[in-house]
Structure 1
Amino acid sequence: MPRIGIVTDSTSSLSPTDAEREGIAVVPLQVIIGAETYTEGVDVTADMIAEALASFVPVSTSRPTPDDFLAVYERLAAEGAEAIVSVHLSAKMSGTLDSAVLASKQASVPVTCIDSMQVGIATGFAAGRAATARDAGEDAIGVAEAAQRAGESSTVLLYVDTLEYLKRGGRVGAAAALIGSALAVKPILTITDGLVVPLERVRTQAKALARLEALAVEKATACEQGFDVGVQHLASPTVATAVAERLAGALGLESVGVDEVGASIGAHVGPGMISVTVTPR
C-alpha cells in the first residue's frame, strides 16, 4: 500500500500538536493587518485580529501560492509519500483550493485535491478523517473519499454579533439579505454548498446561543454512529466555554473542545463569533 501524505490549510484550525500527531501537513494563509503581512500560525494571533478590527484597522487575508503548496508536496514526496490528499476550505470562500490544484499538476507524485465545502474545524475534521482512513490502510481514493464525506456531512452553525465583517470580506453569501436588519436581529448562520447562508434570526444573544445549542444537539443525536463536535470563538472565551459546557451536558460527554479561530477566519467573522461544528463518524 503506498504511503499517503495528507495536507490541509491553516483555516482548518488544527493545532501544531494535533497536526503532528495525525501526520497532517498544514500550509498557512497570509493575514494582512494595515500595511503588515503575517503568516497564520507563525506570527499572528486571533487576538491581534480582534484588536485590529475593533480599532478599524484594515484586515484582509491572502491564499497560499501554488509554490507554497508545491514545496510541501515535494517535501512529503521526498519523505516517502507516493500519493497525497490535500483537503481545503470551501473554494467558494477562498482561492486556496485553486492554488493547491495548480501545484498538484506540477507535483512529482499524484495529488488529489478535496474541496471540503466547509471552513474552520469542519475542514480540520475532514482532514482528520483522511488521516484515519490512511492509518486504516485505505488507498488514496479511499482517503480522499473519507475527507469528502466528512465535509459533505458536517454541520457548521455560527452566531455573529454583526454581519458587518462578513460583508466587508465578501464572505456573507446569501446572508446579505440580513444586512439591512442586522442591528435588529442576532443572526444564526450555517454553511450550505460552501457558502455562508442565513439559517434563523433571533432577537437577543442569549436566545441565539440557546438556539445554536439546540440545533447542534439535534444534529449530533441524529448521528447513528457517533460524531465529533467542537466549539470555536473569536475573543469570547467565557461565552464559548459556557456553550461547550452546556453542549457536553446535553450530549452526555465529559467535555467539548473549545478553540479560538485562526487569524484568517477571525478577519472575516469579527469579535464575538461563536460556532459549533458537528461531523458524523
Structure 2
Amino acid sequence: MAKVAIVTDSNSGITQSQAKELGIYVVPMPFMINNEEFFEDINLTQEQFYEKLTGNAEVSTSQPTPDSLMTLWDELLKEYDEIVYIPMSSGLSGSCQSAFMLAGEEYEGKVFVVDNQRISVTQRQSAIDAKAMADAGFSAEEISKKLFDTKFESSIYIMLDTLYYLKKGGRITPAAAALGTLLRLKPVLQIQGEKLDAFAKARTTSQGKNIMLTAVKNDIENRFGGMEAGDFWIEIAYSHDTEAANEWKKEVEAAFPGHEVHMDPLSLSVSCHIGPGALALAVTRKLHF
C-alpha cells in the first residue's frame, strides 16, 4: 500500500499549527505588499494583513514559486510514495495550472494535482477528506479522481460589507461602486465551480444573511437530498470582524439545528479583493468512500 501525503495551500484556512495536528502539509501563499514579499501564516498574520490592507498599502496576491513547490515535494517524497496536492480553485488563481505543469513535467506518477475548484472552508474539507482516504489505503490517483468527480458538490455565498476593494482591483467600475455605495447595497457573491460571481444584491445586512441562508437551504434540498438526509457540512467564513462572525455563527446554528458549524477566517487571497467585514456561508456534500 502506497504511503500518500496530502498537501494543500493556506487558502484552505488551515494554519501551519493545525496542519501538524491534522497530518496535512500547507503551502503558505505569498503576497506582495508595497513591493515586499510576505507569506501567509509565516511572517504575515491575519491582523497584519488587514492593518496593511486598510492602511492603503499596495497589496497583491501571488502564487508559490516552482522552486518552493519542488523543494516541498522532494522532501515529502523521501518519506511518502505519492503526493496529492489540492491548491485553490483554478478559476481564482494561476497557481493550480502552474502546479499541474510542474507535476506533469517533473513528477509524473508521483504528484497528483487536484483542481476541484474549492477555496477557504470547502478547500479545507477537501484536504480533510483526502487525508481520510489516504489513511484508509486509497492511492493518490484514486483520491484525486474522487475529489475531481465531486468538485461541484459545494457552494460558498459571500456578503460584502464594502465595494471599495472590488473597485480598487478593477473588478467593478468606479461608477458601479459609487452607485452601490450610495444605495448602501450589500452584494452577495457566489463561488460554485470556477469563479467568484454575482449572486444577489441586498439592501441590509439582515437581508443579505437571509439570502445566503435561503440559497444554502435550496442547495441542500435540491442537490444534497434534503435536510433529513443530513448529508452535508455547514461552514462559515468571515473577513476580519470576529464579533460579527460569532453573531453570524449563532444565526446559522439556529437555522440548521443539530448540525455542527465550522468557522474560519476567509482566505486572505479572497479577502484581498473583497476587504474586511465580509460574511460567508458554505455547504459541502459529505464525501463517501
| TM-score normalised by the chain length of structure 1 | 0.89
For structure 1, list consecutive stretches of 5 or more residues without a partner in the other structure.
Answer: none
- The letter of the residue matching 1:101 is F
Give the whole-Å Cα distance in 2 for the aligned partners of 1:201 and 1:113.
35
Q: Is the 8 A contact 2:155 2:283 kept in 1?
A: yes
Deviations 1:192-215 (A, max 9, x none): 331111111111122112222232
Q: Is the 8 A contact 2:233 2:261 kept in 1?
A: no
Give the whole-Å Cα distance in 1 for the aligned partners of 2:155 and 2:108.
35
Alignment partner, residue 199 of structure 2: 199
Cα offset, 1:190, TM superposition: 0.3
User: Structure 1 residues 270 and 166, CA, compared in 2 at 3 Å: closer, same or farther?
Assistant: same
Q: Residue 43 of structure 2: SS of its match in structure 1?
A: coil
Deviations 1:63-103 (A, max 9, x none): 00111111111111101x21211111111211111231233
Q: Residue 162 of structure 1: SS of its match in structure 2?
A: coil
How many pairs align? 278
- The letter of the residue matching 1:249 is A
Q: Percent identity?
A: 26
Q: Is the 8 A contact 1:129 1:150 kept in 2?
A: no
Give the whole-Å Cα distance in 1 for the aligned partners of 2:67 and 2:12.
20
Alignment pair present for 1:190 and 2:212: no
Q: Residue 279 of structure 1: SS of its match in structure 2?
A: strand
For structure 2, list consecutive stretches of 5 or more residues without a partner in the other structure.
Answer: none
Q: Residue 156 of structure 1: SS of its match in structure 2?
A: strand
Alignment pair present for 1:273 and 2:278: yes
Cα offset, 1:273, TM superposition: 1.0
Alignment partner, residue 74 of structure 1: 74
Give the whole-Å Cα distance in 2 for the aligned partners of 1:233 and 1:187.
15
Deviations 1:146-200 (A, max 9, x none): 3224532111110111233234446x59x99965743222111101331111111
Alignment partner, residue 102 of structure 1: 101
User: Structure 1 residues 186 and 14, CA, compared in 2 at 3 Å: closer, same or farther?
Assistant: same
Q: Is the 8 A contact 2:119 2:267 kept in 1?
A: no
Give the whole-Å Cα distance in 2 for the aligned partners of 1:225 and 1:77.
38
Give the whole-Å Cα distance in 2 for the aligned partners of 1:139 and 1:22.
19
**Structure-to-structure mapping, 1:130-145, within 5 angstroms:** 130-145=130-145
Alignment partner, residue 247 of structure 1: 252
Q: Is the 8 A contact 1:46 1:261 kept in 2?
A: no
Q: Residue 26 of structure 1: SS of its match in structure 2?
A: strand
Cα offset, 1:261, TM superposition: 2.4
- The letter of the residue matching 1:165 is Y
Cα offset, 1:33, TM superposition: 1.9
Q: Residue 18 of structure 1: SS of its match in structure 2?
A: helix
Alignment partner, residue 89 of structure 1: 88
* Greater Cα shift, 248-257 or 67-76: 248-257
Alignment partner, residue 61 of structure 1: 61
Question: Aligned-pair RMSD on alpha carbons?
Answer: 2.4
Give the whole-Å Cα distance in 1 for the aligned partners of 2:135 and 2:194.
28
| TM-score normalised by the chain length of structure 2 | 0.87
